[in-house]
Structure 1
Amino acid sequence: MKNKSTKTFFASIFSMLLVLVLNADFVVAQNIEVYVSSRAGERLTRKNDAKFSADAKSSASIITVNEKQSFQTIEGFGATFNEAGMICLNSLPAKDRNKVFESLFDSAKGSGFTMMKSPIAACDFASAGPWYSYDETIDDTLMNHFNIERDLGPNGLITFIKTAAKHGKFQIESPMDFAPDWMYYSLNQGEKHVKLQYYPALARYYSRYLKSYLDNGVHIDYLNLFNEANNTWYSNVTYKEIGEMIKNYVSPQLRKDGIDVRIQFGETANRPEAMQKFPPALDDTALQKDIHSLTVHGYDWNQFSTLTDLHNRYPNLPIYQTEVCYAIPNNLPPSGPTKMPVYEFSDGEFWGNMIVNDMKNWVCAWIYWNMILDENGGPWLISTIHGDGDNNKQHPVVIINRSTKKVTYTGLYYYLSHFSRFVRPGAKRIDCTGGSKQLNLVGFQNADNAIVVNVINNGDETRCNINWNGKFFSYDFPAHSITTLKWNN
């Protein structure tokens, strides 16, 4: 009996040791997928897998990945549906058009965009006709003449969105530049405030928009009342006024109509503006109950830390970066490009660094402005009374030459794709530190527990050791590149 017990004991110990050894061997032998886009010519190129080892193979600097410390949940990455983009797509043969959609929305073969923007009625790239709203009938407060006919046309936003949805799954946020003109005191500067008597009508306008889209197969996930409000170019409506509209008119109307949408607050022109303009409205805790998240634009170019300030003040409200682009002549960073659009791959490095820095300052979703434009950075809409002038050349994610039919995927496309394809909705940003001055990096853990680290090398080729839970591998990051490292946890 004693011998049998002893044998059983040693057999159990042996089994436990065997499991530990096998698990250790698995971690050491575990493959790391490597994807690279670089000035040398790689474009989301799958490289040879790397493997963990028990110790560092070189004395190079160390990047430490620690998924045990996590931060914000990531909702997605993407760009904007505008009529200008659909006009460009419709200039292509059907086969080429489908290839562009696949390259943007397919998560295996393309970018896999998951967070999109679609403006409410006209904006500066509503290029399929003149300026429009969904109800041009003066004093139609009950929205009896509300219609979305234009959005159902061949270049319309619903057509654009439904075609994209055949290639991937994404959420949509919708802001508005202007309410119908008749709701304002006037469109003169300083008078572009919605009359109080029209607040109920405006609430019905938003509700009808959401329901009309849903009736035509498009669900809008997030509603923003105004775009870049409380400035000179669009509505002069203050954020205090927006807060009152949400709390007392829009939210009650949406509840009454049974509309399923999350209300966002913001669409500021730049990051610092949020801390300057939100508090008078957002410090009202009653309003916060109606708000899902905060939205900012990136036209300050580099004031990322103000988003951490915003997060610290309103920690329960996620932050989305929902618009940024190059535009001549007014929206350019210091030493930015002078011609639009930008064909050089090297330009992607600027955008990649912006995404990383936004992520490291609590951004949960990142949306670029125009997804597709033509070889002239257009076509654009001209309506000076609505702040949309001529010669509005801008830079998109994808350039379609409407004359030659050539499609160009910009540097921005590739850097953005390293995030949208590999960092999926529900991922958590995780602690990822170290490296060297020329590297800018950020780490994530997807909902399936896979670890993803994106590393931007802003200089010459450099080697680093990656340390994950005491296991290491060394990698030479190519000059001026973005590298995605992905492994299972």
Structure 2
Amino acid sequence: MTSRLTRLPLRRRSAAAVAGCTLLAALFTAQTGLSAAAQTPAGPAAASHAPSGVRQWVTDADTTGPQLGPLTAVTTTSAAADTTIHVDPSLKFQKVTGFGASITDSSAAVLYRLDRPARDALMADLFDPRSGAGFGMLRQPIGASDFATADYSFDDMPAGQTDYGLEHFSIAHDTRQILPLLRQAKALNPRLQIVASPWSPPGWMKTNGSMIDGKLIDSPRIYDAYARYLVKFVQAYAAAGVPVDYLTVQNEPQALLRTDYPGTDMPVAQEAKVIERLGPALRAAGLRTKILGFDHNWSEHPFDVQSHVDVGEDPELDYPFDLLNSPAARWIAGTAYHCYYGDPARQTALKASFPGKDVFETECSGGGITRTLGAMNNWARSMIFWNLALDENHGPHTGGCTGCDGAVTVNSGTGAVTYNDNYYTLGHFSRFVRSGATRVGTAVAAAQDDPGPLQASAFSNPDRSTALVVTNPSATATHTLTITAPGIDVTTTLAPGATATYTWAAR
């Protein structure tokens, strides 16, 4: 089947303190990749530059739905450039793990509404690295999230009963739809990696006896049981053919008031206590799954701050910093962030304080290419959008977000598939930035009076090919840009709202 990446129209939808000032300054310089020469705006171009083997893949924000073409030779121009983008492959930053979304319970239900041939074709469009988008990373809820058909954990008990021995643990719920889809995705893209996150421990482990709101009971026996619960999940998924590469212990631990879907307020001290038991338990079980801390926004949302203040609790504004300063840090490989509030520069501040720890972006819905570039340019090893697939009513879901889009929309009546902005945004990276690629120096030099300068990020693949992603945030202005790199000197244009990935082989 011909990939929809090459033949479908694009339909876009709108959608603390840092240790070591010297290190922070160095990281900021490295992040921007600016040099004195690169900060000089481009002058007039006397003639069209030779393409030098540069190819492009362009999506357009025009709401009339322009056709999305295949990878083609870059279109050059002799017009004067208003922007120069310089790529320096000798300046190296973080390794890339992958790009993708989440096969939530809701996504699985939507995908299973399709007949087998249609579902197989869609899965290929999403995961096949040769004919499709090549999504290479998924974030899987451990039990129910807000996008589920019912509230469930893997060890539910009647009210008032407990199961410290985890004798009732079972992943049977996921064996019907979620795990078959994960195995199919893994078969399509063998390099696929999984990060898993719980929205709530089983209700019997919590202060209110419910998966909705409440806290983990502050008891060594509960911390031990919860750590073993997470280990059993990783073991059960591995036995089902889906190894879990990364694990967090709580989705959005600073969200205090969940009223209609699973969630848990988990302070730093409690997360640290869980991780101090989970790390040794994973090692004892012979599992290589790595632990990521935090799993929440770049900065705490004012609503969450006020919610904690109202009940007399510390909002813990520096949660990820405090967690990595705790004894649990020895078991933590990195920090997981979400894109919903704050500035991605917080990732660079954290990296400056803890240079040996990685940064991942594990959930984003909305914000598209700008937030993705912001995350990647601030040390993120991944960008994972939220639901892989939803229906035309942004569901099904049990609560929470009522306007979230999936990477694709599957109409519940007709089965028609709409490929949304998130699909194309991810495709600009996942098709061309391979697992194990390294982000490299990228400097954007624009005119001083440019109200909407281009944004860009570049990556060197394991085969030494380069992928440069550039977006034009202006709604009205076409930009003329010159791309320079070793052996590359090309001038081209980028329409308002358009995004392009430029690629070239090793020089």
Deviates more, 1:463-472 or 1:307-316: 463-472
User: Equivalents in 1 of 2:268, 2:275: separation in Å?
Assistant: 10
Q: Are residue 288 (structure 1) and residue 340 (structure 2) matched?
A: no
**CA distance, structure 1, for counterparts of residue 98 and residue 86 of structure 2:** 24
Secondary structure of 1:365's aligned partner: strand
Structure 2 counterpart of 1:414, from 393, 408, 424: 424
Aligned twin of 1:455? 470
Q: Deviations over 1:12-66 (max 9, x none)?
A: xxxxxxxxxxxxxxx97731111111135142532334689xxx98454321111
Residue 324 of structure 1 corresponds to: 364
Q: Name the residue aligned to 2:165.
A: 142
Decide whether aligned partners of structure 1 residues 356 and 191 sit closer, same or farther in structure 2, where only a CA change above 3 A counts: closer
Counterpart Cα distance in 1 of 2:274 and 2:403: 34
- Partners in 2 of 1:174 and 1:255 — Cα distance? 17
2:321–2:350: 8 Å Cα contact kept in structure 1? no
Aligned to 1:358, what secondary structure does the other structure show?
Answer: helix
Matched, 1:215 2:239: yes
- Cα distance in structure 1, aligned partners of 2:350 and 2:81: 39
**C-alpha separation in 2, matches of 1:272 and 1:319:** 17
CA distance in 2, matches of 1:470, 1:221: 38
Give the C-alpha shift of residue 120 in structure 1.
0.5
Q: 1:47 aligns with which of 72, 84, 89?
A: 72
Note the alpha carbon deviations across 1:384-414, whole angstroms, 9 max, x for none: xxxx46x834211100001011100012211
CA contact (8 A) 1:174 1:222 kept: yes
Q: Which amino acid aligns with 2:498?
A: S
Determine helix, strand or coil for the equivalent of 1:118: strand
In structure 2, C-alpha distance between the alignment counterparts of 1:396 and 1:375, rounded to whole Å: 10
Shift of 1:426: 0.9
Q: Which residue of 2 aligns with 1:96?
A: 118
* Among 418, 443, 446, the residue aligned to 1:433: 443
1:208-228 deviations in Å (ceiling 9; x for gaps): 111111111111111111111
Q: Over residues 224-273 of structure 1, what are the superposed CA-to-partner deviations in whole Å (9 max), with x where a residue is unaligned? A: 111111331221221221112211x2122222222221111111144457
Partner of 1:258: 286
Q: Deviations along 1:254-309, whole A, 9 cap, x unmatched?
A: 2222222111111114445796212333213x422211111011111x51222211
Amino acid at match of 1:236: D
CA deviations over 1:323-357 (Å, ceiling 9, x no partner): 1225xxxxxxxxxxxxxxxxxxxxxxx41111111
Contact 1:135 / 1:143 at 8 angstroms: preserved in 2? yes
Equivalent residue for 2:266? 237
**8 Å CA contact retained: 1:262, 1:291:** yes
* Whole-angstrom CA distance in 2 between matches of 1:190 and 1:462: 48
Who is 2:197 aligned against? 175
Residue in 2 aligned with 1:443?
458
1:278-427 equivalence runs, <5 A = 278-284=320-326, 286-300=327-341, 303-326=343-366, 350-381=367-398, 388=399, 392-427=402-437
1:203 counterpart residue number:
227
2:153 match: 133
| Aligned with 2:184 (options 141, 157, 163) | 163
Q: Is the 8 A contact 2:294 2:319 kept in 1?
A: no
Residue 226 of structure 1 pairs with residue 256 of structure 2: no
**Secondary structure, aligned partner of 1:211:** helix
Letter matched to residue 86 of structure 1 = A
- How far off its partner does 1:78 sit? 0.5
CA contact (8 A) 1:30 1:51 kept: no
Counterpart among 111, 127, 133 of residue 133 in structure 2: 111
Q: CA deviation at 1:122?
A: 1.1
**C-alpha deviation, 1:152, in angstroms:** 0.7
Answer whether contact 2:470 2:501 (CA < 8 A) is retained.
yes
Cα distance 1:118–1:471, how it changes in 2: closer, same or farther (>3 A)?
closer
Deviation, structure 1 residue 88: 1.2
CA distance in 2: counterparts of 1:394 and 1:84, whole angstroms:
12
Task: Classify 1:440/1:254 alpha carbon distance in 2 versus 1 (closer, same or farther; 3 Å).
Answer: same
Contact 1:35 1:46 in 2 (8 A): yes
| CA spacing shift, 1:324–1:29, aligned 2, 3 Å | closer
Q: Which runs of 5+ in 2 are unaligned?
A: 1-48, 302-315, 447-451
* C-alpha deviation, 1:321, in angstroms: 0.9
- Are the structure 2 counterparts of residues 304 and 281 from structure 1 closer, same or farther at C-alpha, using a change threshold of 3 Å? closer
Q: Match of 2:460, as an amino acid?
A: Q
> Among residues 291, 296, 305, which one is paired with 1:268 in the alignment?
296
Partners of 2:468 and 2:503 within 8 A in 1: yes
Distance in 2 between the 1:190 and 1:172 partners?
A: 26
Classify 1:293/1:280 alpha carbon distance in 2 versus 1 (closer, same or farther; 3 Å): closer
- Which of these two proteins has the greater Rg computed from alpha carbons? 1
Please say if residues 133 and 179 of structure 1, whose CA atoms lie closer than 8 Å, have aligned partners that are also in contact: yes
In the other structure, the counterpart of 1:192 is 215
CA distance in 1, matches of 2:116, 2:364: 30
Matched-pair contact (CA < 8 Å) for 1:73–1:426: yes
Paired residue secondary structure (2:187):
coil
Question: 2:223 aligns to what SS in structure 1?
Answer: helix
Structure-2 separation of matches of 1:122 and 1:439: 40
The CA deviation at 1:166 is: 2.6
Report the AA paired with residue 133 of structure 1. S
Q: Give the AA of the match of 1:64.
A: H
Aligned residues: 423
Mapped to 2, the partners of 1:61 and 1:258 lie a distance apart of 52
* RMSD of equivalent CA atoms: 2.4
CA distance in 1, matches of 2:454, 2:51: 26
- Kindly provide the CA deviation profile for residues 139-195 of structure 1, in whole angstroms up to 9, marking residues without a partner as x: 221111111111111x3x212211222321310000111111111122589852224
Q: Work out the CA distance in 2 between the residues paired with 1:361 and 1:465.
A: 24
TM-score (norm. length: structure 2): 0.79
Structure 2 CA distance for partners of 1:230 and 1:412, relative to 1, 3 Å: closer
Structure ranking higher in helix proportion? 1
| TM-score, normalised via structure 1 length | 0.81
* SS in structure 2 of the partner of residue 289 of structure 1: helix
Q: Which runs of 5+ in 1 are unaligned?
A: 1-26, 327-349, 382-387
Amino acid at match of 1:447: P
Q: For the structure 1 residues 191 and 99, does the alpha-carbon distance in structure 2 shift closer, same or farther, using more than 3 Å as the test? A: closer
Structure 2 vs 1, CA of residues 438 and 51 (structure 1 numbering), >3 Å: closer, same or farther?
closer
- Among 475, 482, 485, the alignment partner of 2:502 is 485
